Amino acid sequence: MTNFLRTGMLLAALTALFMAVGWAIGGSGGMLTALLVAAAMNLFAYWNADRMVLGMYGAREVDAYAAPELHGLVSELARRAGLPMPRVYIVETEQPNAFATGRDPEHAAVAVTTGILRALSREELAGVLAHELAHIKNRDTLTMTVTATIAGAIGMLANLAFFLGPSHASSEDNRGSAIGGIVLALLAPLIAMLVQFAISRTREYEADREGAAICGEPLWLARALAKIDAYARRTVNVPAEQHPGTAHLFIVHPLRGGGADNLFSTHPSTENRIARLEAMAVQGGSSRPRRASVPPTVGVWGVRRRTGPWG
């Protein structure tokens, strides 16, 4: 509940900042216009964000025939989490990674890269998929879409405020307001980015906790995070580099140079996440993976395709 309250407060801060930038451009009228624009943008993102993100990454949907083991594992974990079966996608990139998207559990999708299918064991992949299903269960996919939309709009409005200047502060008596508007225009994008990153980090910790509960073993996810982080540091995720605004969606920061748990990171440090998962395993009396928590019918990660090994 604390994480949800914190996320709500951060979203409220982003909305207030967006309205403040609108005020800097056009006073009370600009503030109202900014609020209406934010509502329209978020409405568009609500209905279209999942298709936009999946399209950016050239994700290919797979069914129980095309990827029986992967599809079966997602189905079993979704049942454990009490969720409808999400759509399953594969992204062609060598970097092991995964993300979830969709406006609600009934319209959700889970995407994994071809690299993660090669790099992880069955148990480790179960931990990753459980983490992504936790994002869906907690409706983080919608929260992060709204956050990214507002943050992007703040940057756009801030540019207008800087170049056009605050119209309500053009008289000499309001010169101080004009200066304040310019300062706000300069700082607003940075503040919005920091708030976006803070929300992302908060939701990642919660999804780790919930995901460990879904798959039944925190150490599976801990081992997966260690492997993915090591690969991500030396493997380029080309689509992610082309669309850095989507980096917060992935289970591990997909861009070169990411990883430190600081103000400018979209993700908590992998070391911190692993430490929390290991502490969960100790508290739960677990010291090694329990194979019974993974469906025994799931085996090697074969994916059928029309040409070539991966589809």
Q: What are phi and psi of 258, to 5 degrees?
A: -85, 165
pLDDT grade for 21, boundaries at 50, 70 and 90: confident
Distances in whole angstroms, Cα of residue 167 to Cα of each of 21, 157, 158, 295: 12, 14, 14, 63
Give the residue numbers annotated as catalytic, written as ranges.
132
pLDDT grade for 293, boundaries at 50, 70 and 90: very low
Highest mean pLDDT among 23-32, 170-179, 229-238: 229-238
Average pLDDT, the chain: 78
Of the candidates 205, 217, 226, 221, the residue with the CA atom closest to the CA atom of residue 285:
217
For residue 246, is pLDDT > 90? Answer: no
pLDDT at position 187 is: 66
User: 192 and 11 in contact (C-beta within 8 Å)?
Assistant: no
pLDDT at position 62 is: 96
pLDDT at position 5 is: 66
User: 78 and 105 in contact (C-beta within 8 Å)?
Assistant: no
Distances in whole angstroms, Cα of residue 153 to Cα of each of 47, 84, 238, 240: 17, 32, 25, 20
pLDDT at position 241 is: 84
Alpha carbons 276 and 282: distance in angstroms, whole number: 10
Alpha carbons 200 and 285: distance in angstroms, whole number: 29
pTM of the model: 0.77
